Structure 1
Amino acid sequence: MNFSQKDILQIEEKGLSTQEVEEQVEIFKRGNIKVNITEAATVGNGISRIEPAGKKELISFYDAEKDNHSILKFVPASGAASRMFKALHNFAGEFDPENDTLRDYLDKKQDADLQRFFNHMEQLPFYEHAVERAKKNHSDYEDLSNDKRHKILVKTILESDGLYLSNLPKGLVPFHKYNMNTATAFEEHLLEAAKYVEVNGVAKLHFTVAKGDKDKFKGEWKEIQERVENETGVKFEIEYSYQDPKTDTIAVDNNFELFRTEENDLFFRPGGHGALIENLNQLDAEIVFVKNIDNVVTEEAMQNVANYKKMLGGKLFKVQQQIFKYLETLEKGNVPSEKLDEIQRFLNEELFIKSSSNHDLFIEDLKEKLHRPLRVCGMVKNEGEPGGGPFLVKDKNGEISLQIIEGAQIDNDNPEQAKTARESTHFNPVDIVCSLKDHNGEGFDLPGYVDKEMSFIADKTKYGKALKALERPGLWNGGMAKWNTIFVEVPVETFNPVKTVSDLLKDSHQAS
């Protein structure tokens, strides 16, 4: 592949090499690799269902253990709110109250979320603020027709002379309204973290944010710090990081030629959430809880959510301790065959790793399979259509392990694979607790546990031209493919994402 001197400088500025760019182009030519799912992970076969007594025991175990560990909450928070307000942007651009009625517009759109917005928008946490600003900007607001007021109100929510919410990172949009204040998703993550991440009076959190947004988050923290710390009795240490430019990926056209900008520069795109494995790798913590920025609940529901986090953490501590004991036993040598059989059963029954014992490196093989980062993942029962979620997967070496698989990774053209996918009963809500250090206290090099073949090719456009984009192996699937994994069922009430503004009108986001 021929690169100009200008290309080479641009590639090096990203922290990449021409060889890495060429390897990415080869991935485009190769296409997406479908995984080999052998079974859907279900309760009793890959997913643990923990009964109330067991949950109580694990919570107590977590509470007794946590002060002996460095614990942190990791929140991917670089998403912009623009997608959350997409339907409102369309409305603001399309609806003409001079020539149309709101009723006709909604009937034509058949958008349930938009219908819910207009039926219940007075319940939104920023509604009163928006009305106040609309009246300030439009002295005749009260005299206008309902349809005209609705248009003005939507534009006030979205645009720069109003609240400009669509320009904020999603984490700084007001999510919940209480008697004395409104709370952003950022604030709710802090309040939740105080209930299970706190160690010796301090709760540590790490937010991955978009460049340009760090000061906005720091400004929000300055505004709320006194109130949040007084309410929780906890001090907070908050860190931020950006997605590393070296995780950006090259784009190509449909002929696999390098896609170029109008200035004839190479066109790189962010590598997707899988790039955040680099951010996770930089953390100096032993135990890390991972949860998306938009998945929060109101304060009255928070303790229930925190208890399930503690349950997952207690499970992780118990399994981690067992793994550490086995590794110490194996390293001492002269291990009796009964103990080797016990370790083999643990791998098969607890970690669902199917490994072979018929070769000379048996002990070394067991060490390798135990000496991995560990994750315990909450899984929610799928009440809708089956899709990506927890599966038992066979890799190219014949090893079977528990994996989180996206729907796009499944070979639906293969009837057997499609049938297995339809048998999926749970989905991945991104509710994870990780152990990032080994039995010697050394941190794992997390990029070494990524399955690079789990990258994903997506079709996009730029300047009206088609391009192919490459997303790195997702943080919770390919980015953690070579981790040891445990799946535990958690209830749907622990999963309350906000994908559209109308999701804020659901009961789970309404404070009583």
Structure 2
Amino acid sequence: MTLTKNDLELLSKKGISERKVNEQIETFKEGIPFVQLEKAVTVGEGILKFDAEEEKRLIERFDKAQNTMELLKFVPASGAASRMFKALFNFLDAYDPSEESLDDYVERTGDTEIQTFCEGLTDFPFYKMVQNRISGKASSKDEEVYLFVKEMMSEDALNYGFYPKGLLPFHNYGDHTATPFEEHLKEASVYAKTDDTAKLHFTISEQHGDMFNQEFSNCKDRVSSESQTSFDVSYSYQKPSTDTIAVAMDNEPFRTDDGSILFRPGGHGALIENLNDQDADIVFIKNIDNVTVPRFAGDVVDSKKVLAGVLLKVQAKAFEYARLLMDGNLTAGQLDEIKSFLENELNGRLSNKFASFNIGQQIDILKDKVNRPIRICGMVKNEGEPGGGPFWIKDQKGNVSLQIIESAQIDMDNADQADILKNATHFNPVDLVCGIKNYKGEKYDLMNFVDTKQGFITGKTKDGRELKALELPGLWNGAMAYWNTIFVEVPLQTFSPVKTVNDLLKPAHQVQ
């Protein structure tokens, strides 16, 4: 590949090396193999499930330690709301109230999403605000619905499709509506607070920075007063150096009409670098749209504390064994004890040849396996169609490990692999509690634990031309592939994402 002077200037501006570009092009040429599923993870076979008494002890463990640690809530929040309103954009394009009734439109198109939207209209948190803006403008009920949606979506009106999802009105409290951003502050005040201060870090799009600052100004006094908590809020953006090159269908760099190379954002896997910049004893990770109203908040808080209690319990042992391994003078019994801990509690898997290695080699292997960041991942029981979730996988070197796998990483043309996915009992709600420091209190370099081979190649278009895009290994997928991983079943009510606008009609988002 020959790079022009302008190409090199662009690489320099982004902070991307020529070597990295060449590696990415080679990835396109070689392709990314599907993961090899060994089996789905189930309760008792990779997923822990606790009874009420065990949960109580884990919560107490965390409560006792909470004010002695630095805690952080890390919230990926850069997603725009455009996909959330896809059905409404389609409706505006396809419906003309002067040509047909709303009932006829629904019957003609089978658009059940707009039907649900209309039936629940008064229950949306933004109903009164939008209604006040269009009051008196409609000559019929059908036209009123059309104008309502237009007021929500038009660029010269509320323009909700432009908003980051985290700043949309989600919950109606009567005297005010709350955004997901505000709800995350409330949550953090309970389980991510040290003394009287909760620290939160949001990864956002740079264009939305002023909007997030304004929302914090609008709600911080109210939430601080209600929760008796001060908030330390910080933001970061996806780094330009994590952008990935796009290629044409012949795997040559895709060039735009002005001749420049096209780079695209690397997906949420790029956020491992943002996470790597943080410093805390425990990091809670949760997506921006997964919030709930107060009557369900207790279950959410208890669940987070259970996960944190599991982390503290297993981390205490890991740190103890890491110190023993560093000293190096271990008996055969101690080595067996550490090996058992690694396999039975950290879900690590050792080579069949491990027993044939000498003591020094075994110590080095155990030292490497134990001295890793730890993630405790909440998993929700499948209630519908299975998707991405927890699996035992085998990598190309034959190593078996616990991973969170997306359905796009699985070869669905392979009947055995498809069957494993079909029989999965749990899915991934993005509910992680992470320990990112070693036994000395030093922060791990998280970039050392990424499996770069777990990215995605997807088909896109630009200016009417096809291209191939590369997404980096997902934040909770390949970006954490070499962490020590523990899965814990959490209640379904802790998972209340808003993927479409109609999700706001669910009980988890209705205050009354």
| TM norm. shorter chain > 0.5 | yes
Q: Percent identity?
A: 50
Counterpart contact for 1:130–1:162, Cα < 8 Å: no
Counterpart residue type for residue 176 of structure 2: N
CA distance in 1, matches of 2:106, 2:262: 39
Counterpart contact for 1:195–1:303, Cα < 8 Å: no
| DSSP 3-state at the match of 1:84 | helix
* Larger mean Cα displacement after TM superposition, 100-109 or 33-42: 100-109
CA distance in 1, matches of 2:110, 2:249: 35
Counterpart residue type for residue 279 of structure 1: N
Counterpart residue type for residue 359 of structure 1: F
Q: 5 Å matches for 1:25-174?
A: 25-135=25-135, 139-141=136-138, 144-174=139-169
| DSSP 3-state at the match of 1:206 | strand
Normalising to structure 2: TM-score of the pair? 0.97
1:157-186 CA-to-partner distances (Å, cap 9, x unmatched) read 112443222221110000000132110000
Normalising to structure 1: TM-score of the pair? 0.97
| DSSP 3-state at the match of 2:194 | coil
1:384-420 CA-to-partner distances (Å, cap 9, x unmatched) read 1222210111223322111001111112233322222
CA distance in 2, matches of 1:147, 1:32: 50
| Pick aligned residue for 1:189 from 177, 184, 189 | 184
Counterpart contact for 1:352–1:400, Cα < 8 Å: no
* Larger mean Cα displacement after TM superposition, 417-426 or 335-344: 417-426
Q: Note if 1:301 corresponds to 2:278.
A: no
CA distance in 1, matches of 2:109, 2:288: 29
Structure 1 pair 34/140, CA: closer, same or farther in 2 (3 Å)?
closer
Counterpart contact for 1:133–1:162, Cα < 8 Å: no
| Pick aligned residue for 2:346 from 324, 342, 351 | 351
Counterpart contact for 1:40–1:390, Cα < 8 Å: yes
* Larger mean Cα displacement after TM superposition, 496-505 or 154-163: 154-163
Structure 1 pair 509/359, CA: closer, same or farther in 2 (3 Å)?
same
* Larger mean Cα displacement after TM superposition, 305-314 or 358-367: 358-367
2:9 is matched with: 9
| Pick aligned residue for 1:226 from 212, 221, 228 | 221
1:414 is matched with: 414
CA distance in 1, matches of 2:111, 2:371: 50
CA distance in 1, matches of 2:313, 2:274: 26
CA distance in 2, matches of 1:117, 1:298: 20
2:321 is matched with: 326
CA distance in 2, matches of 1:173, 1:365: 49
CA distance in 2, matches of 1:364, 1:107: 68
Q: How much has 1:359 moved relative to structure 2?
A: 1.3
CA distance in 1, matches of 2:276, 2:410: 28
Regions of 4+ moved over 4 Å: none
Q: How much has 1:421 moved relative to structure 2?
A: 2.1
Counterpart residue type for residue 460 of structure 1: K
Structure 1 pair 14/354, CA: closer, same or farther in 2 (3 Å)?
same
* Larger mean Cα displacement after TM superposition, 71-80 or 402-411: 402-411
CA distance in 2, matches of 1:388, 1:252: 27
CA distance in 2, matches of 1:217, 1:508: 24
| DSSP 3-state at the match of 2:202 | strand
1:279-326 CA-to-partner distances (Å, cap 9, x unmatched) read 000002121000000000002211210110000000000011110001
Counterpart residue type for residue 145 of structure 1: S
Counterpart residue type for residue 154 of structure 1: V
CA distance in 2, matches of 1:495, 1:263: 45
CA distance in 2, matches of 1:83, 1:453: 28
1:313 is matched with: 308
1:100-157 CA-to-partner distances (Å, cap 9, x unmatched) read 221122223334332211111110000010010112xxx543xx11111111111111
Give the count of matched residue pairs. Answer: 507
CA distance in 1, matches of 2:173, 2:294: 9
2:18 is matched with: 18
Structure 2 gaps of 5+ residues are none
1:301-356 CA-to-partner distances (Å, cap 9, x unmatched) read 11210110000000000011110001111122221111111111111111221213
Counterpart contact for 1:134–1:162, Cα < 8 Å: no
1:203 is matched with: 198
Counterpart contact for 1:353–1:399, Cα < 8 Å: no
